[in-house]
Amino acid sequence: MRRATSIVREVKLVAEPVRAIDREGVFEGYASLFGIADLGKDVVMPGAFADSLKKRGAGNIRLLWQHDPSEPIGRWLSIVEDRRGLKVRGRLNLAVERAREIHSLLGEGAVDGLSIGFRVERARAERPTGLRRLEKLDLWEISIVTFPMLPGARVDRVKQAGEDLAQCIRATAVRLFS
């Protein structure tokens, strides 16, 4: 006697490709997160960027590719500390060849890391953890990178012009279930 086997239909939702950047090259994300140790055991504390941001402003902090001073790729539109960390909004200069390449890589999700370049002005070491608490930093550049020292420092999704959450959900459902 043969047993009837029932087929269970399984549905797995695949995330929509991240649109990390708009057509004009504008993107945003977190370049640093407060209270989280990076791969080098540094922990940025809330307020660490306050004096530097007041002194320099977003316009005097460079937007680079892989921390390379010979690879400026755009400019920062805003840099602010919020409760989570250092929130940034930048624009790639699409007249620059490298910036167009990065624009394409960000759009595909191949690159999405952010990393800060700074000078330590005040820090304290913690024993026995080996962590270094960074309390005051002189921020001079933020780079788009392949591998950030702080894995959570990433370019976030940027809302497309005219798109809202309901439209996104409807479009994804149509794509998946039709």
Question: Which one of the listed residues 24, 67, 103, 104 is annotated catalytic?
Answer: 67
- The reply to whether 115 belongs to the active site is yes
Which position among 32, 52, 103, 141 bears the catalytic label? 141
**Whether residue 141 lies in the annotated active site:** yes
Please tell me which residue in 28, 32, 52, 115 is annotated as part of the active site: 115
> Which amino acid is residue 172, in one-letter code?
T
C-alpha distances out from residue 168 to 27, 31, 43, 107, Å: 18, 26, 36, 17
Exposure class string for 54-91: b at 16+ Cβ within 10 A, else e: eeeebeebbbbbbeeeebbbbebeebebeeebbbbbbb
Specify whether 67 is catalytic: yes
Catalytic residue positions, numbered = 67, 115, 141
